[in-house]
């Protein structure tokens, strides 16, 4: 004869999520935060890749970068340069960056012990994607300081860009910050795009992780090489006597008319 066991009655309180759009349950809130982090990260990566091409215009000559600078300041639209436009873009980027950083910080381990536990698991598993997450954390922490300082500088001194002004700034003191920022941002951007594609299974590439990692590594290497050549050009121009004397660059077509 079966023995009937009386179990104590337990009351479970469900978190209303379905059918109530004004109430966010834990799962839905997590999903929205993931979406915010992914979209903001993708926007920042796109901006940084375009930004690198604009900055590297110095490799085409001083006149080329002067033209790009005036374009960013709206001269070709308004008939004169407005450096405040550079400040406006820097403010927008800073806001997106802070939103992205705050969501990312919310997901980070909360103590040194948790980091130690993760590191032991990382070494034990030998899983490439897990190791990449740690790389992204480290580069992200570096960017919280370097990127914020750089953006603040652009907001406060938008007129200090151009062939001579940018070179003077880099050569005169920000070269270490810019070098660390370049490596951190390109590595972080590459890892972030890879993880975003894998997480959301974009373009059906989740099943081809190895090939995707190689493609992303190639893109990161390309931007690091481009950035290194650009950085060297700024350092070389910054050492010129005219730049050291504080002279602003005058394009060749204006000099020819004098």
- Alpha-carbon distance of 160 to 154, in angstroms, equals 8
Joined together, the tokens standing for residue 246 give 């504080």
- Alpha-carbon distance of 67 to 88, in angstroms, equals 19
pTM of the model: 0.85
Out of 4-18, 186-200, 215-229, 231-245, least confident range? 4-18
Joined together, the tokens standing for residue 210 give 């190895």
Closest residue by Cα to residue 237 from 227, 226, 248? 248
Q: List Cβ neighbours of 150 (8 Å cut-off, separation of 6 or more).
A: 174, 177, 178, 181
* Mean confidence (pLDDT) of the chain: 87
Report pLDDT for 14.
44
- CB-count burial class (<10 Å; 0-12, 13-18, 19+) for 14: exposed
Report pLDDT for 257.
57
Q: List Cβ neighbours of 233 (8 Å cut-off, separation of 6 or more).
A: 58, 59
Report pLDDT for 114.
75
* CATH for the 29-257 domain, from 3.40.190.10, 1.10.540.10, 1.20.1300.10, 3.30.990.10: 1.20.1300.10
Report pLDDT for 51.
97
């Amino acid at each position: 004869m079966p023995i009937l066991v009386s179990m104590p009655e337990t009351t479970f309180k469900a978190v209303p999520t379905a059918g109530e759009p004004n109430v966010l349950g834990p799962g839905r809130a997590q999903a929205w935060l993931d979406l915010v982090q992914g979209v903001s990260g993708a926007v920042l990566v796109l901006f940084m890749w375009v930004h690198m091409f604009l900055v590297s215009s110095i490799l085409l000559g001083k006149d080329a970068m002067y033209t790009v600078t005036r374009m960013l300041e709206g001269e070709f639209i308004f008939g004169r340069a407005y450096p405040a436009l550079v400040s406006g873009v820097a403010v927008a980027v800073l806001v997106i960056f802070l939103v992205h950083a705050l969501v990312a910080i919310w997901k980070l381990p909360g103590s040194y012990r948790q980091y130690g536990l993760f590191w032991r698991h990382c070494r034990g598993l030998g899983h490439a994607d897990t190791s990449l997450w740690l790389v992204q954390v480290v580069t992200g922490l570096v960017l919280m300081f370097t990127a914020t300082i750089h953006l603040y500088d652009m907001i406060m001194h938008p007129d200090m860009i151009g062939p001579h002004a940018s070179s003077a700034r880099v050569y005169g003191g920000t070269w270490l910050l810019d070098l660390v920022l370049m490596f951190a941002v390109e590595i972080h951007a590459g890892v972030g795009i890879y993880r975003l594609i894998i997480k959301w299974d974009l373009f059906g590439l989740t099943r081809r992780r190895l090939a995707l990692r190689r493609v992303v590594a190639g893109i990161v290497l390309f931007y690091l090489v481009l950035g290194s050549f650009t950085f060297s050009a700024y350092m070389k121009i910054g050492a010129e006597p005219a730049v050291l004397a504080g002279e602003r660059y005058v394009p060749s077509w204006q000099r020819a008319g004098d």
